[in-house]
Amino acid sequence: MIEFSGRGAGFATAERPFHSRIAYAAAPVVADPAAENIPGAPAALDWESTLRFRRHLWSYGFGVAEAMDTAQRGAGLDYPATRELIRRSAAEAREHGGKICAGVGTDQLPAGPAALDDIRKAYAEQLQDVQEAGAQPVLMCSRHLAAAARGADDYRRIYGELLSQADGPVLLHWLGEAFDPLLAGYWGGGTETVLEIIGEHAAKVAGIKMSLLDAGLEVDMRRRLPAGVQMFTGDDFHYPELILGDEQGYSDALLGVLAVIAPPAAAAFRALDEGDTEAYEMILAPTVPLARHLFAAPTYHYKTGIVFLNWLAGHQDHLLMVGGAQAGRSPRHLAELIRLADAAGLLPDAELAAHRTRAWLTTVGMDR
């Protein structure tokens, strides 16, 4: 049986907001446990629990990155549920003064081949939905575009038209194939294509999130961005050093891992506000082994671990996920995650975590 340290209690109370970095947490959704959330079925959400978790993130000073990969876009969360999620979360953000951005994709199209014009129209529809909801758009990578594009020119045309239609500055999003193998070869020309698109439309690009798990590539691109365009790290392996930065700059953050490490991460960012890099690094150091385990290959199943940890921390009452995705990680993987989460200070109530761990170990046959 795992012995819980209670370290998470030290981060359980939200303090003053941090200000030296912009940080969005990509938030998961909570499935309705009484609904038919099985593979292929329409997603049914527990709205109160889903929105309560967003209020938790705002209370620690984080923005919410809504309807991103962490919310199971393209992996159980269908577009009607996505649109309603964005609408409800944006309304909640206005009520609570929270910062919010939301994903724009093409997942209302059927899986499989699509014409470029249909892809453009699908993107435009979602862009309008996000803008009408009042969230900042994040132009996500599209599986349809990855399959249909014949080169960099197709990406330039599609993104150029979308940026021209945007009401204001948006965020671009580059999700690597570790997170979604169907996005291999995106942009048709790598960083050069992205930089050309940003350069041509710099007034409409607030920043870009890179989720390639390649710190060197991110730093190189960060240094080449036009003035006023921010780099948001999506690197769940190297985030401490990328956010800390160097003499030439730093990355802000839009990360899935922040959904589970928000309390200690907020404390680390407050230390960074005060110039205390030693405390910043000390607080975040134990979160890195957890993040590397959470996002271990196959990386796209990390969402199972995030929901599992949120259950242990008391943010939701069950382990079920839309699309039946709770089966994405093995009991052995999750048992190690418990140990790493306690060491990182992610479990605010050690007694609750111990109770739920005992119950879970019994159900998976690991209580001996």
Residue 187: count of CB within 10 angstroms of its CB: 24
Looking at residue 74, what DSSP letter applies?
T
- Spell out the per-residue pLDDT of the chain, length 368, in tens: 688 999 999 999 888 899 999 999 999 999 999 999 999 999 999 999 999 999 999 999 999 999 999 999 989 999 999 999 999 999 999 999 999 999 999 999 999 999 999 999 999 999 999 999 999 999 999 999 999 999 999 999 999 999 999 999 999 999 999 999 999 999 998 899 999 999 999 999 999 999 999 999 999 999 999 999 999 999 999 999 999 999 999 999 999 999 999 999 999 999 999 999 999 999 999 999 999 999 999 999 999 999 999 999 999 999 999 999 999 999 999 999 999 999 999 999 999 999 999 999 999 999 87
**Residue (of 250, 296, 308) closest to 23 by Cα position:** 250
pTM score over 0.75:
yes
Structural domain spans, the chain: 21-285
Backbone angles phi, psi at 249, to 5 degrees: 140, 180
Question: What is the architecture of the domain spanning 21-285?
Answer: Alpha-Beta Barrel (3.20)
92's CB contacts (< 8 A; 6+ apart) are 51, 54, 55, 98
Contacts 24+ apart (CB under 8 A), 280-288: 280/240, 280/244, 281/240, 281/244, 283/345, 284/239, 284/240, 285/240, 286/340, 286/343, 286/344, 286/345, 287/240, 287/257, 287/261, 287/344, 287/346, 288/237, 288/240
Alpha helices in 201-284 (DSSP H): 215-224, 239-244, 258-273, 277-284
- Please say whether the beta carbons of 138 and 102 come within 8 A: yes
